[in-house]
Structure 1
Amino acid sequence: MEVLLEFFNNLSDPDWIVAHGGLYLLLFIIFAETGILVGFFLPGDPILFIAGVIIANMSMGAAHPEMTLLYWIALITTAAILGNFVGYWSGRFFGHRLLKMKDTWFFKKEYIHKAQAFYDKRGGGAIIIARFLPIVRTFAPIVAGIVEMDFKKFALYNIIGGIIWVGSLVTLGYMLGENPWVQRNFEYVIMGIVLAATAPVIIKLFTGKKKTPASIASIEEQEEVTQEV
């Protein structure tokens, strides 16, 4: 346990990362967080920011530093996209087995059907938004696979989401990494990124209103009327 905690603590240190695999280590972390179920605890957002800081240091003195930035953004984006594809196909492979399971307190087939309805309506947007939500971004492609979301649709929004997520955070780290204030308060900046990423989920969790059975029925009736029209 102590080794694991030390590893996470070191992930906020660009110098340690450079000495232990550098950006290739970050490539693996991004792939694992977005493609492997047990990778949900990995800190994807801070890692992307730190990647930008490392790239900025690598580019110092280079004739075309922007090319170095674009090269690594392309590699990291590819890792993020491939990770989601692995998650999607894992969901497709294990989904049929889950649907054959009996309902338990932890798992109910009803959850799968609700997820399927959600992806049918807002699947593309959900895949993009999930990129910026810790934990959610690990499970989103897996659930998409379980409910058999259209692969072409998933692939399109997976690529768009990967480009936006990686491009924005890596570029932010690249631009701010050399700022003296950021360097002096690097740990606080990383904490701020984590809080900014998790805030929407926390706010929704505590402020979301629970729908009563009557309100749910009313919403369903309105949807049926709309479809008939």
Structure 2
Amino acid sequence: MPTPLHLASQLAVNVLDAHSLLTAFGVLGVGVVMFAETGLLVGFFLPGDSLLFTAGLLCTGTADRAVKLSLAPLLVAAAVGALAGAQCGYVLGRKAGGALIARSRSQRLHEGMKRAEELLERYGYAKAVVLARFIPVVRTVLNPMAGALEVPVRTFTLWQVVGGLAWSVGLTLAGFALGSSVPNVDRYLLPLVALIVVASLVPLLSEVLRARRGAAPQGEETSDPGL
């Protein structure tokens, strides 16, 4: 039975901090966060990338001794949460259309919606669904958008499973591998988490740069006086 002190620590958890979430909720928290971030629009701010990496790191026992996770249950929780969340988001989008996103007042969420639309238009359903997993906010928005746009269920399900496993299992194993090979890795935990967050933004930044490069020649053509 949980003690009052333990309950108080759970209530005081910082949902934006991966280590705080893992300390309070352990493996179960990973599954819940994966589901919320990929299936519920309110979860767009959750630290999915850093949570998976940090959780994998803590499975080695070489990091913070106060938190020790088991790898097998962690992989199951991460995968189930990520896959079930995406499918739930798709169903919500299919039922409610784009109304859920349109009603949101979050600028960040609307920016994510724009990027999700660009991914779908540029790469098609399969590649966009996989790539979205690795882009914060976009992985939250694309699933309901795919449902609203009536992406075929089989197509979406197949590729969200591929992308979901690559993201959830891949990042968790990356953290585990690093923790197993680097002594006293807990000293570098904060810089590593920061690096993961930055790396997760690289696909989004590359898409922005590509879009700007593509827009520049078009602007020059329309301004050509000979046209």
Q: TM exceeds 0.5?
A: yes
Give the counterpart of 1:194 among 171, 194, 197: 197
Tell me which residue corresponds to 1:220: none
Uncovered stretches (5+) of structure 2, i.e. residues with no partner: 1-10, 63-69, 108-112, 223-227
**Structure 1 117/198 Cα, relative in aligned 2: closer, same or farther at 3 Å?**
closer
Q: Do residues 39 (structure 1) and 46 (structure 2) align?
A: no
What secondary structure sits across from 1:148 in the alignment? coil
Q: Distance in 2 between matches of 1:215 and 1:143?
A: 33
**Structure 1 145/71 Cα, relative in aligned 2: closer, same or farther at 3 Å?**
same
Q: Distance in 1 between matches of 2:154 and 2:167?
A: 20
**Alpha-carbon deviation of 1:12?**
3.6
**TM score, norm. by length of structure 2:** 0.71
Uncovered stretches (5+) of structure 1, i.e. residues with no partner: 59-67, 217-229
Tell me which residue corresponds to 1:20: 24
More displaced 10-residue stretch of structure 1: 69-78 or 169-178 = 69-78
2:187 partner letter: R
Given that 1:116 and 1:147 are in contact with CA atoms closer than 8 Å, whether structure 2 keeps it comes out as: no
Given that 2:129 and 2:159 are in contact with CA atoms closer than 8 Å, whether structure 1 keeps it comes out as: yes
Give identity over the alignment, percent: 29
Tell me which residue corresponds to 1:224: none
**TM score, norm. by length of structure 1:** 0.71
Given that 2:56 and 2:175 are in contact with CA atoms closer than 8 Å, whether structure 1 keeps it comes out as: yes
**Structure 1 192/19 Cα, relative in aligned 2: closer, same or farther at 3 Å?**
closer
**Alpha-carbon deviation of 1:163?**
1.0
Q: Distance in 2 between matches of 1:137 and 1:203?
A: 16
5 Å-filtered alignment, 1:36-185, equals 36-57=40-61, 68-95=70-97, 115=117, 118=120, 122-178=124-180, 179-180=182-183, 182-185=185-188
RMSD across aligned C-alpha pairs, in angstroms? 3.3
Given that 2:36 and 2:43 are in contact with CA atoms closer than 8 Å, whether structure 1 keeps it comes out as: yes
**Alpha-carbon deviation of 1:172?**
0.9
1:89 partner letter: V
**Structure 1 43/31 Cα, relative in aligned 2: closer, same or farther at 3 Å?**
same
Tell me which residue corresponds to 1:7: 14
**Deviations 1:141-184, CA, capped at 9 Å, x for gaps:** 11100100000010000111111111111001111125235321
Given that 2:90 and 2:147 are in contact with CA atoms closer than 8 Å, whether structure 1 keeps it comes out as: yes
**Structure 1 176/37 Cα, relative in aligned 2: closer, same or farther at 3 Å?**
same
**Structure 1 215/40 Cα, relative in aligned 2: closer, same or farther at 3 Å?**
farther
Aligned length: 190
Tell me which residue corresponds to 2:6: none
Tell me which residue corresponds to 1:225: none
